[in-house]
């Protein structure tokens, strides 16, 4: 150990390294500071920060780094700047439909967009370095607060009543005069006036000629309560990365379908999607003739999977947990899971038909039989006829080799190839192609393909009541945010702390009478005008008339 700073005050109190004003009598410890006559810096009552040490080890160095308010401010500024950069172009996470980020930014915003993407700013808020900054701010918040609040608490808990003259007379509000009469009585009288203003009084024991009057000390804890709130807030934000805590995804549900909600154990069914449009009478001139949605609503049912959820061989067993008509701003809410109306699509989708088979030679009609577009029954017995489905196509087309194929997996232009057996038909069955939709029947010339069989039998749907289709598809936004209540708690703490610190001020008045000589100093953290008028007001009540302005000892106080 080399030179150890002398931290012992003349009053005999041993102070910690880094102490500015003696913890006991308040005398400045630094020689240069003792010579000056400037008002004292009263921050944290001049006590040392907790972590200040004469020879720091590695842990202390890390600790001191985060304990620095300067570092904290740099961290906050850097975070703000990067957060701002993140708002220049849309973030990748704001795109619902799959898009290719590698080309999107360059195509839409040119070279700046490319640079933006290359720098990783297109996913600023999820990037490791941004999270890292938040973590560092959080660390800094905890350590800065802890390092200051504990010494401050101790300093305010055991305050010396009789302060050094240098301490009292170098406050920013000072009063000095000669008093007549018994000093003890004077102090008591003055104290009684302060008490009426809400001050708590501490007289020096024995002599009664020194006084500490103090009010609203609790406001000093405001910033720390605020910090606790911010830490809770940050922890809640970080908790969102815990699997299952937050989701924001989309699910499309055609009318009548039950669709699993990815990442959860829930399924959602849309009984029916309804949309109402404004009539022309309700629209302003420039919008007449356009389709403007007035209301859209999904009659949704939420199911929970209770068995066979992950067994690929079995159908999952669902249990209804809730039903709700979802409209804009009125989501289905179940145990933190929220389903919002997001969008819709009015393209109908064919689900199933119930066609009949007509024997054209006799005019006899057989059926109807149920034919869903997906996973139909493969064999149907209709009177003397046997229908076997040989192939099905969702969107029928011919491939480059002229073979039938499907262009998609959605039933946009469905087709079935049956093998038909029955009276007057070949023993091994004759192929018959069937297009449930009239437009496809014409487009692909069903009768021509089926050749002479088309003259013998016909499979067709009689009437719309034999057609099952979804009129619309609803798009729902699935949201879950378990961190939200904690965010609220954090925000409330933060606000309470802010109010405590802003609307009250910690005011203290020290005075000592030595013989006939009165020295009075007062300190607050803001509203010095109020501080001075408190002192002047109390003095006036005991017959000392002074202009509050004369109490100002300099130091740029409002």
Give me the residues that bind another protein (CB under 8 A), please: 50-51, 59-60, 62-63, 98, 100, 126-128, 130-132, 134-136, 138-139, 142-143, 146, 235, 238, 241, 243, 259-260, 262-263, 310-313, 374-376, 378, 389-395, 399-400, 405-409
Cβ(211)–Cβ(509) below 8 Å: yes
Q: How far is the CB of 122 from another protein (least distance, A)?
A: 13
Give 413 or 531: the residue with its C-beta nearer to another protein: 413
Cα separation, 251 vs 340, whole angstroms:
10
Q: How far is the CB of 351 from another protein (least distance, A)?
A: 13
Cβ(18)–Cβ(60) below 8 Å: no
Residues 6+ apart with CB under 8 A from 144: 66, 67, 68, 69, 72, 227
Per the DSSP assignment, residues forming a β-bridge with 332 are 339
Q: How far is the CB of 544 from another protein (least distance, A)?
A: 45
Cα separation, 335 vs 320, whole angstroms:
14
The residue behind tokens 């729902």 is: 476
Residues 6+ apart with CB under 8 A from 180: 516
Q: How far is the CB of 374 from another protein (least distance, A)?
A: 4
Q: How far is the CB of 126 from another protein (least distance, A)?
A: 6
Q: How far is the CB of 53 from another protein (least distance, A)?
A: 9
Give 155 or 513: the residue with its C-beta nearer to another protein: 155
Cα angle at 513 between 507 and 515, to 5 degrees? 175
Instruction: Give Cα 1 to chain centroid, integer Å.
Output: 50
Give 241 or 550: the residue with its C-beta nearer to another protein: 241
Q: How far is the CB of 17 from another protein (least distance, A)?
A: 12
Cα separation, 516 vs 520, whole angstroms:
13
Structure tokens at 67: 């304990």
Pure H helices in 397-514: 438-443, 446-450, 453-456, 484-503
Give 60 or 188: the residue with its C-beta nearer to another protein: 60
Give 146 or 187: the residue with its C-beta nearer to another protein: 146
Beta carbons within 10 angstroms of residue 353's beta carbon? 23
Q: How far is the CB of 301 from another protein (least distance, A)?
A: 17
Q: How far is the CB of 12 from another protein (least distance, A)?
A: 20
Residue 512 CB-half CA count within 13 A:
15
Give 107 or 514: the residue with its C-beta nearer to another protein: 107
Cβ-in-10-Å burial (0-12, 13-18, 19+) of 26 comes to: buried
Cα separation, 309 vs 445, whole angstroms:
44
Give 376 or 537: the residue with its C-beta nearer to another protein: 376
Q: How far is the CB of 241 from another protein (least distance, A)?
A: 4
Q: Assign residue 543 a region (left: φ > 0; alpha: ψ between -120 and 50; beta: otherwise).
A: left
Q: How far is the CB of 155 from another protein (least distance, A)?
A: 15
Cα separation, 87 vs 93, whole angstroms:
12
Q: How far is the CB of 72 from another protein (least distance, A)?
A: 14
Structure tokens at 413: 């232009």
Give 63 or 510: the residue with its C-beta nearer to another protein: 63
DSSP assignment of 89-158, as one string?
S--GGG--S---HHHHHHHHHHHHHHHHHHTTGGGGGGSHHHHHHHHHHHHHHHHHHHHHHHHHHHHHHS
Give 1 or 291: the residue with its C-beta nearer to another protein: 1
Give 5 or 30: the residue with its C-beta nearer to another protein: 5
Give 133 or 538: the residue with its C-beta nearer to another protein: 133
Cβ(360)–Cβ(455) below 8 Å: yes
Give 199 or 418: the residue with its C-beta nearer to another protein: 418
């Amino acid at each position: 150990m080399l030179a150890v700073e002398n931290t012992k005050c003349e009053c005999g109190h041993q102070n910690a390294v880094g102490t500015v004003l003696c913890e006991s009598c308040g005398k400045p410890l630094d020689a240069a500071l003792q010579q000056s006559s400037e008002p004292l810096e009263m921050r944290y009552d001049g006590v040392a920060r907790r972590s200040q040490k004469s020879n720091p080890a590695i842990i202390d160095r890390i600790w001191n780094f985060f304990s620095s308010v300067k570092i904290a401010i740099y961290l906050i500024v850097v975070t703000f700047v990067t957060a701002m950069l993140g708002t220049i172009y849309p973030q990748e996470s704001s795109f619902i439909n799959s898009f290719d980020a590698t080309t999107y930014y360059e195509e839409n915003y040119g070279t700046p967009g490319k640079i933006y993407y290359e720098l990783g700013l297109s996913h600023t808020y999820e990037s490791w370095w941004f999270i890292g900054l938040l973590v560092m701010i959080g660390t800094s918040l905890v350590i800065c607060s802890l390092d200051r609040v504990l010494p401050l608490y101790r300093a305010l808990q055991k305050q010396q009543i009789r302060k050094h003259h240098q301490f009292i007379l170098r406050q920013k509000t000072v009063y000095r005069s000669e008093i007549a009469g018994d000093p003890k009585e004077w102090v008591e009288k003055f104290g009684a006036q302060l008490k009426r203003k809400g001050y708590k009084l501490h007289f020096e024991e024995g002599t009664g000629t020194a006084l500490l009057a103090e009010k609203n000390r609790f406001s000093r804890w405001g910033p720390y309560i605020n910090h606790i709130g911010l830490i809770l807030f940050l922890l809640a934000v970080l908790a969102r990365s815990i699997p299952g805590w937050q989701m924001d995804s989309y699910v499309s549900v055609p009318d009548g379908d039950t669709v699993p909600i990815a990442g959860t154990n829930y399924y959602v069914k849309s009984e029916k999607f309804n949309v109402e449009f404004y009539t022309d009478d309700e629209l302003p001139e420039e919008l007449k003739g356009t389709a403007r949605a007035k209301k859209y609503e999904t009659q949704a049912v939420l199911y929970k999977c209770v068995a066979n959820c992950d067994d690929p061989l079995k159908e999952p067993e669902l249990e209804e947990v809730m039903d709700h008509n979802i409209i804009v701003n009125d989501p289905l809410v179940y145990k933190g899971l929220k389903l919002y109306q997001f969008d819709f699509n009015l393209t109908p989708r064919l689900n199933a038909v119930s066609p009949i088979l007509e024997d054209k030679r006799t005019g006899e009609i057989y059926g109807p039989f149920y034919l869903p577009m997906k996973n139909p029954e493969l064999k149907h017995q209709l009177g003397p006829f046997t229908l076997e489905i040989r192939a099905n196509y969702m969107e029928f087309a011919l491939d480059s080799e002229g073979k039938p194929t499907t262009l998609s997996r959605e039933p946009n232009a469905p087709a079935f190839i049956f093998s038909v057996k029955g009276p007057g038909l070949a023993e091994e069955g004759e192929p018959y192609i069937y297009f449930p939709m009239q437009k496809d029947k014409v487009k692909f010339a069903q009768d021509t393909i089926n050749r002479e069989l088309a003259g013998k039998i016909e499979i067709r749907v009689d009437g719309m009541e034999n057609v099952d289709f979804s009129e619309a598809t609803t798009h729902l936004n699935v949201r879950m945010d378990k961190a939200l209540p904690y965010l609220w708690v954090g925000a409330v703490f933060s606000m309470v702390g802010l109010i405590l610190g802003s609307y009250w001020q910690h005011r203290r008045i020290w005075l000592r009478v030595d013989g006939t000589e009165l020295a009075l100093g007062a300190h607050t953290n803001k509203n010095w005008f109020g501080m001075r008028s408190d002192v002047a007001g109390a003095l006036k009540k005991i017959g000392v008339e002074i202009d509050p302005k004369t109490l100002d000892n300099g130091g740029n106080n409002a």
